Amino acid sequence: MQAETVIEVRGLTNRFGANVVHEDLSLDVMRGEVLGVVGASGSGKSVLLRSIVGLMTPSAGQITMLGTDVLGASAADRAAVSARTGVMFQDGALFSALTVRENVAAPMRERLGVDAETRASLADLRISMVGLPPEAGDLFPAALSGGMRKRAGLARALSLDPEILFLDEPTAGLDPISASAFDTLLNSLRKALGLTVFLVTHDLDTLQATCDRVAVLARRRVLVTGTMAQMRAVDDPWVQSYFNGPRAHAALAVAGG
């Protein structure tokens, strides 16, 4: 049976003045997969993510998510779709004046009609799910290590039990051991919660460890999509240098490929 398409992007164009980042870009994301999005600096990886989740309005194109035309939908319908997604930005993007527990509970306060005690209990559950100790809930972001901030940001992204999880460079700035632990956590959460994951990354180890497919952004569009093995056979200079370079071979060796 053919997999369900949960995100469909067609003819997407993003312009910033004279700078065209995307032009007639198309992409499908299938339910239950981890799709890694890669590309050179300036290729518009984060811009694509922000367009899909509704944080910016593209110049042209159509984006359908979970069956809703998000660009043409009413505010209520867009909010309903947004409630079924979670987003983790680089470094967690936590509110500095709130504790970890308060950060995780913030989306619940906006979307769920539950009391403060219930929100706190649900937040503590999310904090535990991402591998943080119970006492982390009382800490402020400034007291967290980089790896803990990432996990706290992930806990907040999971606050509303999303179907689709968007991750923007989740392992950037982490040491190899912490990055590997995050990859393992992502794999376990994806299986346990049935998540679909849209993962922007430059980390070849993360691509190898977590992704079912990879989408390469180049020349203002999605140049190619496929498995890691398929990427290594693509006849394109940038794709070849990225997926067949020394770092790629090292990542493949670690994965046992």
The pLDDT of residue 165 is above 70: yes
Establish if 147 belongs to a structural domain.
Answer: yes
Most confident of 2-6, 26-30, 111-115, 147-151: 26-30
- Tell me what pLDDT residue 255 has: 54
Task: Confirm if 77 and 67 have CB atoms less than 8 A apart.
Answer: no
Are residue 180 and residue 129 in the same domain, yes or no?
Answer: yes
Decide if pLDDT at 245 tops 90. no
Same domain, 173 and 242: no
pTM of the model: 0.93
**How many CB atoms lie under 10 A from the CB of residue 99?**
19
Judgement on whether residues 179 and 132 belong to the same structural domain of the protein: yes
Query: Do 104 and 167 have their domain in common?
Result: yes
Beta strands in the chain (DSSP E): 5-16, 19-30, 34-39, 60-65, 68-69, 85-88, 164-168, 196-200, 213-218, 221-226
In this structure, are 104 and 230 located in the same domain? no
* Residue 211 domain flag: no
Q: Which of 133, 180, 177 is nearest to 155 (CA)?
A: 133
Residue 192 sits in a domain whose CATH number is: 3.40.50.300
Q: Which domain holds residue 232?
A: 223-257
Mean pLDDT lowest among 71-75, 201-205, 242-246:
242-246
Per the CB < 8 A criterion, the answer to whether 182 and 150 are in contact is: yes
Counts for the chain of helices (H) and strands (E), in that order: 10, 10
71 with 63: CB under 8 angstroms?
Answer: yes
- Measure the CA–CA gap between 42 and 145, rounded to whole angstroms: 28
Residues 72 and 144 in one domain: yes
| Mean pLDDT of the region 11-25 | 95
- Spatial neighbors of 131 by CB under 8 A, at least 6 apart, are 151, 181, 185
